Structure 1
Amino acid sequence: MKRKLLLTLLLVVLTSTLALARIVTPVTWTKSVKMTDAKHGVVTLTASIKPGWHLYGTNIPDGGPERTTFTWDVKGARLVGKPEPSKALVTQHDATFDMDLSWWTGTVSFRQKFEVTAPEYTISGSVHYMSCNDETCSAPTDEPIYVSGKAPAGNAAQATAQVQAAAPVPEATGADTAIAAQAAAAGAAMPAAGDSAAAVQAAAAAATPDAQLWAPVRFSSDTAGDTTTGSDSSLWYIFWACFLGGLLALLTPCVWPMIPMTVSFFLKQSGSRAKSVSNAVTYGLSIIVIFLLLGVLFTAIFGASALNALATNAVCNIIFFLLLVVFAISFFGAFELRLPDSWSNKMDATAEKTTGLLSIFFMAATLVIVSFSCTGPIIGTLLVEAASQGSMLGPVVGMTGFSIALAIPFALFALFPSVLKKLPKSGGWLNTVKVVLGFIELALSLKFLSVADLAYGWHVLDRETFLALWIAIFGAMALYLFGLLRFKSDGESRQGIGVTRFFVGLISLAFTAYLVPGLWGAPLKATSAFVPPLYTQDFNLYGGTQEEYDDYDAGMAAAAKLGKPVLVDFSGYGCVNCRKMEGAVLDDDKIKKTIADKFVTIKLMVDDKKPLDKPMVVNDNGRQMTLKTVGDKWSYLQRHKFDSNSQPYYVVLDTKGQLLSGPFAYKEDIPAFQRFLDKGWKK
């Protein structure tokens, strides 16, 4: 019975994980606008509701779900009346809210009449709604509305207004767009081939986005590149990083002494070796279930969209930076992060009262709570790193890797109990491990501050500043390992250091020396995933960086003038795999020469937080949405034109925006990337 209970708990965790992986969209909207005569028109909003779901009405009593409401912002026109639904509401007793409620099912349209008062008009706003089925409800959602048009000239009886085109258009359409179009038609002088990228970009900046350049591409076998899915590689990165974190957690003073104690307990209490092995394996599985629950809970609290926002949100990254600094100070011995003693006492008492598998599960929970002062900072760091990857499954995958590493010794030593005698005894070396982890956490904290600095362009933590701090941190770690720097938590001073400690200190010192040339512009490929990009370096003795455009339309205009194909690089300030590709592949001498000689490079940061001069409204897969930042614009371009939203992402285009080669995603393979470039150049 209790075995079934433990299996059921594991099944609930896995089911919850799969449920979190699905993004449910029960209601989709389409919009249209039509002029009924020279001055009057109708905006129609149509909601398509999935079977089994319902959309709540506009008059819902207090204490119930969110009612459907419309918010309008009208320019050049005035609304006539209120939105009129195409069919009547259905009223039933809703068991979820225990009240009589009204809703629509299937498909329902809302017609909003308006009267034009100016030559041009825009009708924007949003519809706020909530939908439920018999089991669950979707979160209250806002669907943006944006339509625009011109009043028909003369006495035309009917005319249909146009909804936004594929390429993004500024919200303040009209005069500005017309002026830009006239300037382009007039054939403004373009810079010569030898002019700098900045000059070409400045000349093209006023141009209206060309719909042909933004049109979706067609992929075929002769353009395909060698790719590795970025999301898959990120999840593997999270898994193995957290697995390594679990192995490090084993070496802390709170966990290491528990291994022989726990395994010995199972060997003595079980009566037979087979039973002791079974109990130890159950103990390990219980640890995995507990940490899986933690990963599911973390994801459920923050949600999918919030986890994606964590990757580049300045406030979140600064909080992460401060959190890791606190964890590092804790490992240095200034204080201990502990859960309330009552929690561990309660778990311990529960384990004593119960028997069998359930007792073992509560013993595992007691270990998790008691060891929190050592594992807590490691878990916190790993969860922060997993969340910053922007993957909804990241925390779950991370906790799986961490818990497997933590659980392995308990099953392994139960199978081979004689090995227990060969384990190193507890001692001062465990505190040394804690302090070294403190130095590592302090170094990692700077990565999160760097992401915020890059995304918002503060230039507080440029490459040389970052490297100077890392040199100081790892240099201090080397001094500590050599016994020249000590903390109060190290206790009494002792003579000499161990061989292992000496070699780890030597590695830290060598790594410090490796970082030093980076202050003058050395590539430092081994640290490319963490260190800010080379273009933030103020002083570079190793040569300038590749000239790149940061605007798609300006870069395409330059390519047309220079007669070169275009390498488009969709990247991100918070993208670890992007930095790894730049260090391992794009900084290769042969690749750099090929790109410099044969291509115009456009690098688009999808998490650039710089606001656009004017917000842009686009139709994104049937939804009207407003692009407010530069990153929003390039993220939309990647989704709309290439049907992709992962980075890094490389394509080769001709000067008309047609695909020549690609896509090429994350793959640290220089020959494969060279073939990808050559294919585009030959075509």
Structure 2
Amino acid sequence: MKYIVLLFTYTVAIAPLFSQTEENPVLWSKEVNKISETEYELILKGYIFEGWHVYSQHTAQGGSLPSEFTFEKAGESYELLGETIESETVTEYSEIFEVDETFFKDKAVFTQKIKLLRPDIRQIRVNLWYQVCKEVCIPVEEDFIFVLDGGTAVEDVKTLDERSKAMSAALKLDLKNKALLQQGQIDGLGAPSSLWIIFGLGFLGGLIALLTPCVFPMIPLTVSFFTKQSQSKSKGIANAILYGFFIVLIYFLLSLPFHLFDSIDSQILNTVATNIWLNLFFFSIFVFFAFSFFGYYELTLPSSWANKMDSASSKVGGAIGIFFMAVTLAIVSFSCTGPILGGLLGSTALADGDVATNLSAGMTGFGVALALPFALFALFPAWLNSLPKSGGWMTTVKVVLGFLELALAFKFLSNADLVGNWGVLKREIFLGIWILIFVLLTLYLFGVFRFPHDGAKQKVSFTRKGIGMVSIGFAIYLLLGLGKVIDLKLFGFLPPDFYTVAAQESDCPLGIDCFKDFDEGVAYAKKVDKPILLDFTGWACVNCRKMEENVWSEPDIYPIIKNEYVLISLYVDDRKELPKALQFDFKYESGRIKSIETVGQKWGTFQTLNFNAASQPYYVLLSADLEILNNAVQYTDRDDYLAWLKKGLQTFKK
């Protein structure tokens, strides 16, 4: 029973997406060794991506499911000689299933001897069912055809022409010192610190949600219910704390489905930042959220859901009843929390890295902030008297959130524009829209205009004036950046500095001369005898913009990149179509054939094939002779990046 939910989720939600990934986490190849006229050895080799593992046929019962082979027509056309032999495995104790699990890392090899019972058999069909795992295990089923001497696989319909074979071969690099890539890899600012930052942002979002009219009035009502209805004060406090715990649990559980997507391939969630139609969809959704906060309509989940949860909490009672009360709160407050949660999802999706883990941290922070007052006011009920009364100030909070949602919406529209190379939302236009949004927010806060759900006109409070001053200050900051009076640094949210209406000498970051074709860059590096900084980037990559704005621009780093290295920037999300003469089919070792039709498809495949990586930014230092000069790095801080660049130069000079 414990696998039913997993298998159902995979069938309905995961399987359709799995076949669409750029590459499966396991690449398979086949071999056939002829032992005699009637005996053969079938060998299946699986190359497993780093961080993933595949379970053995003999892993212990009660844990993850074992790999299973089905040999079609075994016993009729041929017989199996012994069991399927496995290569070296790893055995580790699973705290989840409390058993020792056996699995493959990096590589799995299965060998099966067969004896033909009929001389006309020329191919053997084999089905393999296995689990490939990272944080969550995903079941996969694949069919393989082993062709014996003189036979031809029936399914091998599409083949590569000589031109595609040559272009595919050219995509593979003969890298020297490749093992250095993974040694001491700097792959971020450190999971604990970055997760705490995202937790803090989620917590801030939860605090803001507390100030909305959907949640704020519920605090005194709910706390009073627990303290007055319970048989004792201590019981009331315990129930209120349990109620808060369930709120945190509910919002954490909402993030779990994203781990299923992330466990298949990090590129699935990364498509949120690179797929044009998804970005346009997010733009529309965030505009929709914004206008709901402006009061033109209200977002609500079906009232029947809340009624059923409320009824269940009354009937069941105890801890389960309190859980249903927490679910009821989540449902009835959706009109205010939904857009905030959407913003949280959008913010984590825009960031590179493990989106699912980031989202879990953010959702947990959101839940903790939402639950905190219920526990605190239960412990200290006298504090309820100090709470401000509900009123028009909560409407102001919603409107401010609406303007922020509107600003975030244009980031998604900018992503679609950048990836699609439309040239519509250039840097100046994007800044102009954001300036207009924050000027309008300032005018609203100072009472110049009103929205439909605003109450009677009142004197502008000191708090509103203060927030208005912050808003106009930010608008002025953007205006100074638009006029190039100052260098804007907005966490990578702006379009690249070279993506402007005004003519630019360079279409590379910070005006650094760069190449956007690998072969051209290597040829130039040979000519000038300089090392190469290979930059796997993306038009919609927020962390790439952060690195360019905050690290590359540093006075001790910028001249090194500009003068000491040859910069090759490859945009893996570029949807620009390749010239017909440069389009080709690429065949993976698994046998799957992929059409390379766009610039991004070419460089994305190039990155995965040569560096076994799919994230951006991703930086590699190498010589023109393709010798790796230092380990690969991703999003990191200025000190580590500077030391990394200098070490690469030292290696090159040696």
Mapped to 2, the partners of 1:56 and 1:146 lie a distance apart of: 13
Letter in 2 for 1:434: K
How many aligned positions are there?
556
C-alpha deviation, 1:655, in angstroms: 1.7
Mapped to 2, the partners of 1:524 and 1:86 lie a distance apart of: 73
Mapped to 2, the partners of 1:173 and 1:283 lie a distance apart of: 67
Q: What residue number does 1:150 align with? A: none
Q: What residue number does 1:250 align with? A: 210
Q: What's the CA shift string for 1:443-473, capped at 9, x where partnerless?
A: 0011112222222222222211111111111
Mapped to 1, the partners of 2:255 and 2:231 lie a distance apart of: 35
C-alpha deviation, 1:219, in angstroms: 1.4
Q: What residue number does 1:355 align with? A: 317
C-alpha deviation, 1:480, in angstroms: 0.8
Mapped to 2, the partners of 1:311 and 1:43 lie a distance apart of: 46
**Match 1:608 to one of 571, 574, 594:** 574
1:333 equivalent in alignment to 2:332: no
C-alpha deviation, 1:509, in angstroms: 0.3
5+ residue gaps, structure 2, are: 19-23, 35-39, 47-54, 58-65, 84-108, 116-124, 151-158
Mapped to 1, the partners of 2:342 and 2:189 lie a distance apart of: 27
Distance 1:281 1:242, change over 3 A: same
Kindly report which structure 2 residues correspond to 1:354-503, keeping only aligned pairs within 5 A, or say none: 354-389=316-351, 391-495=355-459, 497-503=460-466
Q: What residue number does 2:256 align with? A: 296
C-alpha deviation, 1:577, in angstroms: 1.8
Q: What residue number does 1:116 align with? A: none
Distance 1:586 1:491, change over 3 A: same
Mapped to 1, the partners of 2:287 and 2:327 lie a distance apart of: 27
Kindly report which structure 2 residues correspond to 1:136-215, keeping only aligned pairs within 5 A, or say none: 172-174=161-163, 177=166, 209=170, 214=175
**Match 1:653 to one of 622, 628, 632:** 622
1:673 equivalent in alignment to 2:635: no
TM-score, scaled relative to structure 1: 0.71
C-alpha deviation, 1:386, in angstroms: 3.4
Distance 1:682 1:334, change over 3 A: same
Moved more, 649-658 or 603-612: 603-612
Distance 1:522 1:128, change over 3 A: farther
Q: What's the CA shift string for 1:251-275, capped at 9, x where partnerless?
A: 1110111112212222222344432
Distance 1:410 1:598, change over 3 A: same
Mapped to 2, the partners of 1:58 and 1:422 lie a distance apart of: 75
Kindly report which structure 2 residues correspond to 1:76-115, keeping only aligned pairs within 5 A, or say none: 87=80, 107=111
Letter in 2 for 1:603: S
Contact 1:649 1:663 in 2 (8 A): yes
Mapped to 2, the partners of 1:43 and 1:538 lie a distance apart of: 64
Mapped to 2, the partners of 1:384 and 1:483 lie a distance apart of: 30
Mapped to 2, the partners of 1:143 and 1:611 lie a distance apart of: 33
Q: What residue number does 1:54 align with? A: 68
Contact 1:653 1:659 in 2 (8 A): yes
Mapped to 1, the partners of 2:25 and 2:619 lie a distance apart of: 33
Q: What's the CA shift string for 1:474-495, capped at 9, x where partnerless?
A: 1111111111121121121112
Distance 1:85 1:578, change over 3 A: farther
Q: What's the CA shift string for 1:415-445, capped at 9, x where partnerless?
A: 2323222222211110000000000001001
Letter in 1 for 2:447: G
5+ residue gaps, structure 1, are: 1-8, 36-41, 60-83, 91-104, 112-126, 148-156, 159-169, 181-206
Letter in 2 for 1:323: I
Q: What residue number does 2:129 align with? A: 131
Contact 2:177 2:628 in 1 (8 A): no
Letter in 1 for 2:513: E
Q: What's the CA shift string for 1:606-644, capped at 9, x where partnerless?
A: 222334432352546x67553624334333443444443
Matched position secondary structure for 2:307 = helix
Mapped to 1, the partners of 2:518 and 2:486 lie a distance apart of: 27
1:30 equivalent in alignment to 2:29: yes
Matched position secondary structure for 1:327 = helix
Kindly report which structure 2 residues correspond to 1:251-330, keeping only aligned pairs within 5 A, or say none: 251-297=211-257, 299-300=259-260, 304-305=264-265, 306-330=268-292
Q: What residue number does 1:583 align with? A: 549
Mapped to 2, the partners of 1:425 and 1:242 lie a distance apart of: 25
Contact 2:446 2:464 in 1 (8 A): yes
C-alpha deviation, 1:108, in angstroms: 5.6
Mapped to 2, the partners of 1:581 and 1:285 lie a distance apart of: 38
Distance 1:58 1:388, change over 3 A: farther
**Match 2:180 to one of 211, 216, 219:** 219
Letter in 2 for 1:365: V
Mapped to 1, the partners of 2:573 and 2:492 lie a distance apart of: 17
Mapped to 1, the partners of 2:458 and 2:546 lie a distance apart of: 42
Distance 1:561 1:230, change over 3 A: farther
C-alpha deviation, 1:377, in angstroms: 1.5
Mapped to 2, the partners of 1:175 and 1:291 lie a distance apart of: 49
Mapped to 1, the partners of 2:480 and 2:491 lie a distance apart of: 14
Mapped to 1, the partners of 2:473 and 2:113 lie a distance apart of: 68
Distance 1:374 1:220, change over 3 A: closer
C-alpha deviation, 1:673, in angstroms: 2.4
Q: What residue number does 1:152 align with? A: none
Matched position secondary structure for 1:617 = strand
Distance 1:501 1:371, change over 3 A: same
Distance 1:354 1:660, change over 3 A: same
Mapped to 2, the partners of 1:468 and 1:144 lie a distance apart of: 56
Contact 1:307 1:388 in 2 (8 A): no
Q: What residue number does 1:564 align with? A: 530
Q: What residue number does 2:99 align with? A: none
Mapped to 1, the partners of 2:363 and 2:412 lie a distance apart of: 20
Contact 2:300 2:334 in 1 (8 A): yes
Mapped to 2, the partners of 1:526 and 1:384 lie a distance apart of: 20
Letter in 2 for 1:267: T
